[in-house]
Structure 1
């Protein structure tokens, strides 16, 4: 199992897919990294040589912000919005959807499980 950017990437998967296990590398960046290192798309991680793994590590370290650094930057950006008191910051503070989604019926992922309201009756069928 290869270890890149502090993450164990699965050995049986194609390199392009396995790189996506690293936070901050998606499908497009994975293709660009494979092309920069010169690895064919159908190559599996367990078929890589130590030199190829080292080159992948170098490319990621030089050109991409991944894992801890990226998570830290995102959390600092969210904290900045909350400190400014802008609309997006207020939505983050209240744990509501930030990007304009409706909240009347949905947004349960963001708001958590529904809380019963005292005195409100459920609609019954007649």
Structure 2
């Protein structure tokens, strides 16, 4: 398995394999292939050491990836919490941040359902 930017990339076409690096999606993978002058369909295992070094250099110079990107995102969220803005409060409470509904759905952010005791409906007798 070739290693680029500290990540083992699988033996797949290069434009797909580069997406295994945190912070590189389809668009950036295509741009990196184009800038390096390598066909996107080329298998990652067939790349030479020079080509891998060239790709690693392009990523280092132009893209924020892996640990540095994760650190920056964490700092941004911490800043939002510290200034006590609405988005920071939503992060603190573990609720959706971007305006999604929470009456139904939002289970990914809220976690498993918590059953509340005493919520039985009252039946009326006629």
The question of 1:47 aligning with 2:46 is answered: yes
TM-score with structure 1 setting the length = 0.94
Q: Deviations over 1:23-71 (max 9, x none)?
A: 0000000000000000112110011111100100000001111000000
Q: CA deviation at 1:121?
A: 2.6
Distance 1:45 1:21 in 2: 12
* Higher-Rg member (1/2): 2
Distance 2:19 2:86 in 1: 32
Q: CA deviation at 1:120?
A: 1.4
Q: CA deviation at 1:3?
A: 0.8
- For structure 1, the 5+ residue unaligned runs are none
Q: CA deviation at 1:104?
A: 0.1
SS in 2 for 1:104: coil
Which runs of at least 4 in structure 1 moved beyond 2 Å after TM superposition?
Answer: none
SS in 2 for 1:36: helix
1:45-124 alignment to 2 at 5 Å? Answer: 45-121=44-120
